[in-house]
Structure 1
Amino acid sequence: MQIHNISNENSILNQFIAEIRDSTIQKDSMRFRRNIERIGEILGYEMSKTLTYKNVTVETPLGTTPTFLPKSDIVLCSILRAGVPLHNGLLNYFDDAENAFISAYRHHKENPETFEIIVEYLACPNLEGKTLILADPMLATGQSMLATFEALKPFGTPKEVHLISVIGAQQGVDFVNTNFPENTHLWIAAIDKNLNDKGYIIPGLGDAGDLAFGEKLQQ
């Protein structure tokens, strides 16, 4: 796997990361969603540099000019619900992308510190030979990302796979690095060192889904 940690470079991305982490600023759920969306735009832009392009001629009112446009067939899949703002940011840049949505959540059993990933809803187009983008803002253990990838396999084999995350734990990064195909790319805005005993990223930012859309009742 090729890992692209965009935070290793100084850019305006650092401003958006700082704001979604800030416990005061993140109370503004609209700003939180917009910052996740903007991070998705930046990660999508960086990812776009690796796509396949074709040479085309564009006709202007005064003549013609050559340019290069992407020719990859993209399917953008986000994990509900926290992935929606990130999905929107990517879709802002990949206008013609097909879309897939999947629900994957942690189901805690008797021990609140252990869980399994449950997939209940899935809507997906044909993936055969296409570029698959899997978007999930928080890459904690990596199990949700892998469960999503496994659930998508009946829809075809993509030509290439790109994982997009906002913040990840090193443990989660190592997990996907081990369990995804070798030619997978991970695009991530920041990598933190630790997970706590409940599988949350430290320092992280908290629960991205709750911060974006409000707290949920636990089942």
Structure 2
Amino acid sequence: MASLPPNARASQHPSLKAKLSQLRSKAASPREVKTLVHEISLLLAAEALSTALKSTEGPKNQTPLGFEYVSSTISPGNICIVPILRSGLGMVEAVQTMLPDPVPVHHLGMYREPTTLDPVEYYNNLPQHIPSSSEEDSSTLAIVVDPVIATGGTCAAAISTLREWGAKRVLVLAVVAAEEGLRKAASEWPEGSEIWVAGVDGELTKEGMLKPGLGDVGDRLFLTIGK
């Protein structure tokens, strides 16, 4: 694999590689698929957030024994999670687990037009979905979760939407990406976005599916294969 763009990261964690291999298997049951997507997301979020967040001092507190200590908080504090419907829903809980406090979850619904493979937005519940510079309306850090980056069109469209909404930075977490799609998504907003993936596949089929890939993760998560 050639070197990736500066704002794209492929994890080298051995546990992620092993779990990704398990997730690729067609023999994985729906329960195993759900668990593996969650566990991969948890490990990936731990890596990505270690560089995206900073620890800062908070107010003083006391332990149960009465000893005083200075609490820790994170910066930025204005964070949201944006799952791409529907498979991105399988990654939300893992990211929430890695954050010290609950954060808003805003949903984006997108699908690829079968002929052109271009992204089509069919649902958007970002607060006041208009270009805004208001700190109350937008987030300092928007974390996009979507298990698969194939052509990169959907991911690029999500980054563009969040940039227009007013997000100051966009962090994308994906289980696997096609190298071609990863480059396309990374080029959408190089100075304001960062993309972390657990694995990179080198090929896309003419239908826009990764090879070897994971299949349709949404169908595998929600038991709609063959619908």
| TM more than 0.5 | yes
- Equivalent pairs, count: 209
8 A contact 1:53–1:70 mirrored in 2? yes
Give the root-mean-square deviation of aligned CA atoms. 1.9
**Matching residue within 87, 110, 113 for 1:82:** 87
| Correspondence 1:147-186 to 2 at 5 A | 147-156=157-166, 158-186=167-195
Partner of 2:23: 20
| Structure 1 residue 86: Cα displacement | 1.0
Q: Secondary structure at the match of 2:105?
A: strand
- Write the distance in 2 (CA, Å) between the matches of 1:115 and 1:204: 17
- Write the distance in 2 (CA, Å) between the matches of 1:66 and 1:39: 33
- Paired letter, 1:23: K
- Write the distance in 2 (CA, Å) between the matches of 1:154 and 1:168: 24
Q: Mean alpha-carbon deviation: is it higher for 14-23 or for 145-154?
A: 145-154
Partner of 2:117: 115
Partner of 1:52: 54
Query: Which consecutive residues of structure 1, in runs of 5 or more, have no partner in the other structure?
Result: none
- Write the distance in 2 (CA, Å) between the matches of 1:34 and 1:52: 29
Go from structure 1 to structure 2 and tell me whether the alpha carbon gap of 1:32 and 1:216 turns closer, same or farther (over 3 Å shift).
closer
- Write the distance in 2 (CA, Å) between the matches of 1:129 and 1:151: 13
Go from structure 1 to structure 2 and tell me whether the alpha carbon gap of 1:127 and 1:134 turns closer, same or farther (over 3 Å shift).
farther
| Structure 1 residue 177: Cα displacement | 2.0
- Write the distance in 2 (CA, Å) between the matches of 1:35 and 1:146: 25
- Write the distance in 1 (CA, Å) between the matches of 2:190 and 2:201: 23
Go from structure 1 to structure 2 and tell me whether the alpha carbon gap of 1:42 and 1:64 turns closer, same or farther (over 3 Å shift).
same
Query: Which consecutive residues of structure 2, in runs of 5 or more, have no partner in the other structure?
Result: 1-5, 128-135
Query: Identity over aligned residues, as a percent?
Result: 24
8 A contact 1:86–1:135 mirrored in 2? yes
8 A contact 1:37–1:90 mirrored in 2? no
Partner of 1:202: 211
More strand by share: 1
Go from structure 1 to structure 2 and tell me whether the alpha carbon gap of 1:19 and 1:132 turns closer, same or farther (over 3 Å shift).
same
- Write the distance in 2 (CA, Å) between the matches of 1:76 and 1:23: 29
8 A contact 1:75–1:127 mirrored in 2? no
Q: Secondary structure at the match of 1:199?
A: coil
- Describe the superposition over 1:89-132 as per-residue Cα deviations: whole angstroms up to 9, x where unpaired: 112222322111011001224xxxx3221111111245535111
8 A contact 2:168–2:192 mirrored in 1? no
8 A contact 2:147–2:173 mirrored in 1? yes
- Write the distance in 2 (CA, Å) between the matches of 1:45 and 1:129: 20
Partner of 1:43: 44
| Structure 1 residue 176: Cα displacement | 1.4
- Write the distance in 2 (CA, Å) between the matches of 1:24 and 1:207: 14
- Paired letter, 1:115: L
| Structure 1 residue 39: Cα displacement | 1.3
**Matching residue within 89, 92, 101 for 2:97:** 92
Q: Secondary structure at the match of 1:98?
A: coil
Q: Does 1:105 align with 2:106?
A: no
Q: Mean alpha-carbon deviation: is it higher for 176-185 or for 31-40?
A: 176-185
